[in-house]
Chains A and B, each alone.
Chain A
Amino acid sequence: MLDGSSVDPMVVRPFIIRRFVKESHDTFSFGLEPMVGDRDFRFAPGQFNMLYVYGVGEVPISISGDPTKPLSLVHTTREVGTVTRAMRILKVGDTIGVRGPYGTSWPVEEARGRDVVLITGGIGLAPLRPVIYYILAHRERYGRIVLLYGSRTPEDILFRKDLERWRARFDVETHLTVDRASGSWRGNVGVVTQLIRRSPFDPLNCVAMVCGPEIMMRFTVSELEKRGVPYDRMYLSMERNMKCGIGLCGHCQLGPSFVCKDGPVYRYDQLSDIFIKREM
Chain B
Amino acid sequence: MGATPTAAVLDAGNLQQLLDILQKQNYQTVGPTVRDNAVVYEHIQSVEDLPRGWTDEQTNGRYRLTHGKGKKFFGYVHGPNSWKKFLYPPARQLYAADRMKHRFDVVAPEPSGIKPALIGVRACELAAIMVQDRVLMDGEYIDPEYKARRQNAVIVAVNCTRAGGTCFCASMNTGPRVQEGYDILLTEVVDSHGHYFTVETASEKGRAIAAQLATSPASEEQLAAARQAVDKAARQMGRTLDLTDLKDSLYRGFDSIHWEKVAGRCLTCGNCTMVCPTCFCVNVEDTTALTGEQAFRIRRWDSCFTVDFSYIHGGSIRATDYSRYRQWLLHKLAYWQDQFGVVGCVGCGRCITWCPVGIDITEEARAVKG
Write the residues of chain A forming the contact surface with B, with a CB cutoff of 8 angstroms: 1-3, 5-14, 16, 35, 52, 54-58, 80-81, 91, 93-95, 97, 239-241, 243-244, 246-251, 253, 255-258, 261, 277-280
Given A8-B94, A248-B280, residue A240 in contact with residue B317 (CB < 8 A) = yes
- Supply 8 A–B pairs (Cβ within 8 Å), ascending by A: A6-B111, A8-B143, A11-B94, A251-B283, A251-B310, A256-B338, A277-B254, A279-B319
Interface SS of chain A: helix, strand, loop or mixed? Answer: loop
Q: CB distance B319 to A253 under 8 Å? A: no
Given contacts A35-B103, A248-B136, A279-B318, 10 further A-B contacts (CB under 8 A): A8-B144, A10-B284, A11-B94, A14-B106, A54-B295, A247-B141, A248-B141, A258-B339, A277-B254, A280-B327
Please, which residues of chain B bring their CB within 8 A of the CB of A279?
317-320, 323, 326
Q: Which of B157-165, B297-305, B355-363 contacts A (4 or more CB under 8 A)?
A: B297-305
Please, which residues of chain B bring their CB within 8 A of the CB of A280?
254, 317, 323, 327
Q: CB distance B281 to A249 under 8 Å? A: yes
Please, which residues of chain A bring their CB within 8 A of the CB of B105?
14
CA distance A7 to B299 in the complex (A): 16
Nearest CB of A to B246, in Å = 14
Given A8-B94, A55-B295, A248-B135, residue A14 in contact with residue B103 (CB < 8 A) = yes
Q: CB distance B102 to A93 under 8 Å? A: yes
Chain B, residue nearest A97 (CB): B106
- The residue that B145 contacts in the complex, of A8, A240, A241, A247, with Cβ under 8 A, is A8
B65 interfacial by beta-carbon distance below 8 Å = no
Q: CB distance B299 to A10 under 8 Å? A: yes
Given A250-B302, A251-B281, A256-B335, residue A80 in contact with residue B313 (CB < 8 A) = yes
Please, which residues of chain B bring their CB within 8 A of the CB of A13?
106
B139 interfacial by beta-carbon distance below 8 Å = yes
Please, which residues of chain B bring their CB within 8 A of the CB of A56?
286
Q: CB distance A11 to B136 under 8 Å? A: no
CA distance A124 to B317 in the complex (A): 19
Interface SS of chain B: helix, strand, loop or mixed? Answer: mixed
- Number of B residues near A (Cβ < 8 Å) is 56
Nearest CB of B to A147, in Å = 24
Give me the 7 closest cross-chain CB pairs, A-B, nearest first: A250-B281, A279-B323, A256-B338, A55-B295, A246-B141, A55-B288, A256-B335
Chain B, residue nearest A96 (CB): B104
Please, which residues of chain A bring their CB within 8 A of the CB of B283?
243, 249, 251
Task: Return the CB mask of B128-145 against A: 1 if under 8 Å, else 0.
Answer: 000000011101111111
B window 319-360: CB within 8 A of A: 319-320, 323, 326-327, 330-331, 334-335, 338-339
- The residue that A81 contacts in the complex, of B313, B323, B338, B339, with Cβ under 8 A, is B313
Chain A, residue nearest B338 (CB): A256
B63 interfacial by beta-carbon distance below 8 Å = no
Q: CB distance A94 to B338 under 8 Å? A: no
CA distance A246 to B323 in the complex (A): 24
Q: CB distance A249 to B282 under 8 Å? A: yes
Q: CB distance B317 to A11 under 8 Å? A: no
